Structure 1
Amino acid sequence: MLCNTKKERLLILLLIRAMLPAEGLASLPCFVGFDLGTSGARISIIRPSNDSSSYQELHSDTVSWSDEKRYDDPDAWMSAVAILLEGSAAYLSSVASICFSGTSASCLLIDRANAGAVTRRPRMYDYDVCHSVDPIYGVRALTRLESFAPPQHTTRSPTSSLAKLLAWHEQTPLTKQEALAHQADYLALQFLSENKACGSGPSNFRSVSSDWHNCLKLGYDVRNLCWPSWLLDCLSQANIDPRNVLPEKVVSPGEPFGTISRRMAERFGLPATTVIVGGTTDSNAAFFASCPSTANVGTAVTSLGSTLAIKQTSRNYIEDASVGVYSHRFPSVLMPASTSEAYWLAGGASNVGCAVLRQQNFTNDELRDLSLLIDPNVDSHYRYYPLTKKGERFPVADSNKEPILHPVPNDRAEYLHGILQGISDVECGGYLALSKLGADPPIPHTIFTSGGGGKNEMWRSMRQRRLTDTFKENVQVLRAQNSEPSFGAAVLAAAHLRVS
C-alpha cells in the first residue's frame, strides 16, 4: 500500500498537465531550484537554451545564515526562501515548476493534523545519534536497526534518517500524528496545495511527500521502489505505525508532487498552475548542475563545499555502510529515452571539507594568494585528516575518528598545502572505495568539480595528479561550468516536462 506505481505517477502528471493553459508549456518557460545548505540558501531560475540540450540561468541569489538565521531552523529556511523569491519578482509570473534540495538525512518531525507544524526540531546531516546529549537513545536505536536492517545497509549509519527517527522515539514515543519530513520535503509541504488531490485531507491535515534520494537513508527500497518489509517490521515492533510516520508519496526526483497552494501563489505572484516536484539532496543536485544533459556511466562529480561528497554514475548498485557508500537511483525524468535499465549514482559524503579552512582562519585573500605558492606536483609531508570535529561518515564510517591538523607549521602556505592534500586524499579514498565495491566502470573517466573548492585551479591540478596516481590510469578533473546545487534543483524542476 505504501508503494508508488508508475501508473500512479503518470496519472498525477496528466492531471497537472490538464490544469495548464491550453496554449501549451511554452507560456511557462522558467524553472526554479532552491538549495538549502550549511552556509546559506540559494535560488536559481533557468530556462532551456536555444538548442534545448542545456539550460540558461536567468537569475540567482543567495541568503547566508547568521546567528539569527541558523541552518537548522525551519523558520529560517522559510524566511530565506521568501527573501529569495521576493528578490526574483521579475521572473515569477513565468514559473512552471519548483524543486527543493536539502542536506542529506537532515530531517524533523511534524504534526500532520496541525498543518505540518514542527514538533521536534531538525537533526541535521551530521547529527550522530551516538554523540547526542544523551547517547543512550542512539545506542538503543542502532541496536534495534541491527536486528532488522540488511547487512551494510546505509540506514545502519548513526547519521541516517532512520537512526534519527528511532532515537527520537526512544527518547519520547512518537504520537500518532507525528510524521518525518526531510528538509526538502518540509519546504515542498509549505508550498503544496491544500487540495485533497495534492496530498491533504480534511481541515488542517497534511501529508508528507518525498523522493527517492531523500528517502534512501530512511530505508526506502530504491531498487523495488517501495518501503521494504524489514523497515515496516522494524517500525511496527517499536510501536511506530509506518502509515503515519513515513512519507505517503515517494516519487523520482523531478516528478510532480502537485500544484502550488493558492496562498503561496498569491503571496509571491506565482502562477496558480506552478508544479512542485520531487526534490533531492545537495550533493545529487550538484551532480545534475555539473552535467545536466548526460547520464553517461563513468561520469563523476566531486562537490567541494563545507563538506566533501562524491557521486559516480554506475551500471551497478553498490552499498556498504561500514565505509559510508550508498547508491541513489538516477532520476527517471533525466534518463535517456533509449535507456531501459536503471543507472545509479554511487557515492558518499565525508565530514572533511572546506569548512576546516574557515575553522583555521584562512581568509579568501589568503586562499587565493597562498595557493599561488603551492606546487601541485609536489607532495606535502604533512599527513592531515582535516575534520572540523570528531566523527567521519565516508570513506570510513567512524563516529570516533578524530581530526588530525597537527603539527601546525609556521608557514601558512605549507599548512594550506597539507590541508588541501588531506582533503584530496579523502577524495581518492572515496573513489577507490567505490571501485572496490564494484562500481561499473570501476574508474571514473571524468570528474567534474562543484562547490567553492572547484574554483581553485592549483587544487584541481593537485587532485588530478593524485587521482591518476591512485588508479594508475588517467583521470580527467574538470571544473564544472555550472556547479550550484540550486541550478541542479532547477534542472529537475524542468525535467518532468520531458515525461510523455
Structure 2
Amino acid sequence: MRDLALGIDVGTSGVRVAALAADGTVVAKAATAMPAPRRSDGLVRQRPAIWRAAIAEVVGRLGGTIDLACVRAVATAATSGTILGLDAADRPIGDALMYNDASGARFAPAIDAVAPGETAARGAMSGLARALFLQFARHPVRLVHQADWLNGLLTGEPGISDESHALKTGYDPVIRRWPDWIAATGLAIDLLPRVVPCGAVLGEAAGAFARELGLAEDTLVVAGCTDGCASFLATGASRPGDAVSSLGSTLTVKILSDGPVFAPEMGIYSHRIGDLWLAGGASNAGGAAIAAIFSPVDLQRLEAALRPSEDTGQDFYPLVGRGERFPVSDPALAARLTPRPEDDVRYLQGLYEGLARIEAAGYAALATAGAARPLRLFAVGGGTKSAAFQAIRARLVGLPTVPAAHGDAAVGVARLALRHL
C-alpha cells in the first residue's frame, strides 16, 4: 500500500480519521469519542489537550490497519468558529472557546457598529466576538482556530489558518484577506493567523506531534476546512443546487451556489473552497438534544412505532442549551422541549419533526438570501441511520434524499489532501 491521503475530523463529540488511496478509494477508517465540552450559563469550553489526545489515540488505531509511513499528505477539519489563545511559547492559555460559546456577547455591538452586513463575523456568537473576549481576558500573543493549532502541532509552525476556519473571525473570502474594519472593533489584527486557501500546503510534518503519530517527516500538511464543509465534499455534491444536510450533534445545511451569499442576521455565510462557494448555516439544534433525552436503546425501541407520514402537531425546538445561530441568530433563544407527551413515541416523533422543520427553515432562509433552491438533497451524519427520521425529513423539507458517496467529514477533508499525491 503506497501514497495515502489522511483526513482528520475533530468534531464536537469525537475524532474520526480516514485514509484514501491515490484513486480516492477509502482504505481505512477509525474513530474515538471525546468528553463533551463543559457548559455553564452560555459558556461552552474544552481543553485543547483533549483534541490532541483523541487524535493520537485514533491515529494509533488506524496504524493497526495501514502503514502510516505511506501517508503522503494530511488535512484536518474542525468545528467552525472554535478559537483559543496562545502564549509566547505557543501553548494554549486556558480552555478553547467552542463554536457555540457566548463569552464574547458583550463585544457584539462594537462589531455590528463597524462590520459590513455580509460578514460572517457579526453577532454575539461569532468567532470574532470570542477573539475579542480572549484578547482582553487572557492577553494572548496569538489567536488561532481549532484546526490552526492542530496543524501547528504537525508542522511545528503555528499561526496559519485557512479560508474556511477563519471565516467567522472576520476573514473576507472575496478580497481574500483580513479586512481593515476589524481593527475598528478593538481587536489587534496582528494577533490573527495568516490565511491560505483550503487545500494549500502548510508545510511538512516536522513537528513533535507528527513524529508521535508516526508520520514521515516529508508528509505534506494541507490546509483543510470546517467539518461542515468537509462533510459536503465527501458526499459527491458537485453542481449549483446540490444541497447537503449534516445531521449530527448539531444540524448544518449547505448549498452549492454560483457566488457567495451572506445574511448574518439569519446566520448565513459562504465558505470559499477553491472556485466553489458553499452557502449555508449551522444550527445549535440537533441530535445532541435528543440524545440528552433518549438513550440509544430507547431510540431503537421507540423508532419502530413511529408514524412518519402523520404529523403530531407538536412544536419542539431541540436545543441542549440556550442560544441559536441559524436559521435565526439569537443567543437568548431557549429550547422548546415541553410539554412532554406521556407517550414517548409521540414525544420522539415531535422532536424529529422539530429538527426537520429547522432544516426546512434553513433552506428557505438560504433561498430568501439569494442562494439557489435545493435541487438535490444529500444527507450525512448519524441522523441518516434512522429511516423514520429520513421519512419525516422528506415530508417536511419537501425533497427526497440522494444517497451520498460518503458521509464522513474525515473523507471529505482527505480529498483536499489527496490533490497533493
TM-score range, shorter chain: over 0.9
How do residues 187-266 of structure 1 correspond to structure 2 at under 5 angstroms? Answer: 187-193=150-156, 200=157, 207-231=158-182, 233-234=183-184, 238=186, 240-243=187-190, 245-248=191-194, 250-261=195-206, 263-266=208-211
Question: Contact (CA 8 Å) 2:8, 2:76: kept in 1 or not?
Answer: yes
Secondary structure (helix, strand or coil) at the match of 1:214 reads coil
1:449 to 373, 379, 382: 379
Partner of 1:181: 144
What's the counterpart of residue 354 of structure 1?
A: 287
Deviation at 1:380, TM superposition (A): 1.3
Aligned partner of 1:320: which letter?
A
SS at match of 1:34: strand
Greater Rg over alpha carbons, structure: 1
For residue 464 of structure 1, the aligned residue among 367, 377, 394 is 394
**Aligned partners of 2:84 and 2:95 also within 8 Å:** yes
456-465 vs 207-216, greater mean Cα deviation: 456-465
The residue number in structure 1 matching 2:32 is: 63
The alpha-carbon deviation at position 73 of structure 1 amounts to 1.5
* Match of residue 100, structure 1, among 66, 73, 76: 76
Distance 1:406 1:479, change over 3 A: farther
Alpha-carbon offset, residue 382 of structure 1: 0.9
Q: Which residue, out of 271, 274, 290, partners 1:328?
A: 271
Q: Residues of 2 paired with 1:68 and 1:214: CA distance?
A: 19
Report the 3-state secondary structure (helix = DSSP H, G, I; strand = E; otherwise coil) of the residue aligned with 1:180: strand
Query: What is the match of residue 301 of structure 2?
Result: 369
Alignment partners' CA distance in 1, 2:400 and 2:129: 37
C-alpha change, 1:393 and 1:78, in structure 2 (3 Å) is same
Alpha-carbon distance in structure 2 between the residues aligned to 1:67 and 1:399:
20
Q: Hey, what does 1:288 align to over in structure 2?
A: 233
Deviation at 1:143, TM superposition (A): 2.2
User: How far apart are residue 95 of structure 1 and its match?
Assistant: 0.3
Structure-2 separation of matches of 1:68 and 1:306: 12
Alignment map for 1:305-324 (pairs within 5 Å): 305-324=248-267
Secondary structure of 1:213's counterpart equals coil
Q: Could you tell me the percent identity over the aligned residues?
A: 32
SS, match of residue 280 in structure 1:
coil
Q: Distance in 2 between matches of 1:266 and 1:408?
A: 52
Report the secondary structure of 1:44's partner residue.
strand
Determine which of 57, 73, 78 is the counterpart of 1:83: 57
Contact preservation (8 Å) 2:47, 2:95: yes
Alignment-derived partner of residue 381 in structure 1:
313
Deviation at residue 410 of structure 1 after TM alignment: 1.4
The equivalent residue for 1:483 is 407
SS of the residue corresponding to residue 96 of structure 1 reads: strand
Q: Which moved more, 1:258-267 or 1:95-104?
A: 258-267
Structure 1 residues 71, 241: CA separation in 2 closer, same or farther (over 3 Å shift)?
Answer: closer
User: Residue 379 and residue 265 in structure 1: after superposition, are their counterparts in 2 closer, same or farther (change >3 A)?
Assistant: closer
Matched, 1:424 2:353: no
How has the CA–CA distance of structure 1 residues 369 and 454 changed in structure 2, closer, same or farther, with 3 Å as cutoff?
same
Cα deviation 1:262-312 (Å, max 9, x = unaligned): 644543332221000112111111111122xx5211111101101100010
1:460, 1:478 within 8 Å by CA — same for their partners in 2?
A: no
Q: Which amino acid aligns with 2:135?
A: H
Partner Cα separation in structure 2 for residue 222 and residue 349 of structure 1: 18
Q: Matched residues in 2 for 1:217 and 1:211: separation?
A: 12
Is 2:153–2:207's contact at 8 Å kept on the other side of the alignment? Answer: no
In structure 1, the residue matched to 2:124 is: 158
Structure 2: gaps of 5 or more residues:
39-43
Change (3 A) 1:286 1:154: same
**1:110 correspondence with 2:86:** yes
Amino acid at match of 2:285: V
Match of 1:45 among 9, 19, 27: 19
Q: 1:74 aligns with which of 48, 53, 56?
A: 48
Give runs of ≥4 in structure 1 deviating > 4 Å. Answer: 67-71
- Counterpart in 1 of 2:222? 277
What is the deviation of 1:67?
A: 7.4
**Preserved contact between residue 125 and residue 331 of structure 2 (Cα < 8 Å):** no
Residue pairs, 1:394-405, within 5 angstroms: 394-405=326-337
Q: Secondary structure at the match of 2:391?
A: helix
Return closer, same or farther for 1:68/1:344 CA change in 2, 3 Å cut-off: closer
Residue pair 1:152, 1:322 contacting (<8 A) in 2 also: no
How far apart are 1:372 and its partner, in Å? Answer: 2.3
1:84-111: CA deviation from partner (whole Å, max 9, x where unpaired):
2222223201001111111110010112
TM superposition shift of 1:487? 1.4
Q: How high is the TM-score relative to the length of structure 1?
A: 0.79
SS at match of 2:228: helix
Q: SS of 1:189's equivalent?
A: helix
What is the match of residue 416 of structure 2? Answer: 492
Partner residue in 1 for 2:41: none
Structure 1 spans left out of the alignment, 5+ residues: 1-26, 50-54, 131-137, 194-199, 201-206, 333-341, 469-474
Checking the alignment, whether the CA contact within 8 Å between 1:454 and 1:479 is kept in structure 2 is: no
Q: Distance in 2 between matches of 1:460 and 1:302?
A: 11
Aligned-residue offset at 1:491:
1.4
CA distance in 2, matches of 1:93, 1:171: 42
Q: 1:396 to 1:99 in 2, by over 3 A?
A: same
The Cα of 1:479 is off from its aligned counterpart by 4.0
SS of residue in 1 equivalent to 2:315: coil
Cα offset, 1:252, TM superposition: 1.8
RMSD: 2.1
What is the alpha-carbon distance in structure 2 between the residues aligned to residue 389 and residue 463 of structure 1? 23
Q: Distance in 2 between matches of 1:73 and 1:436?
A: 38
CA displacement at 1:466 relative to structure 2 = 1.5
Q: Is 1:268–2:223 an aligned residue pair?
A: no
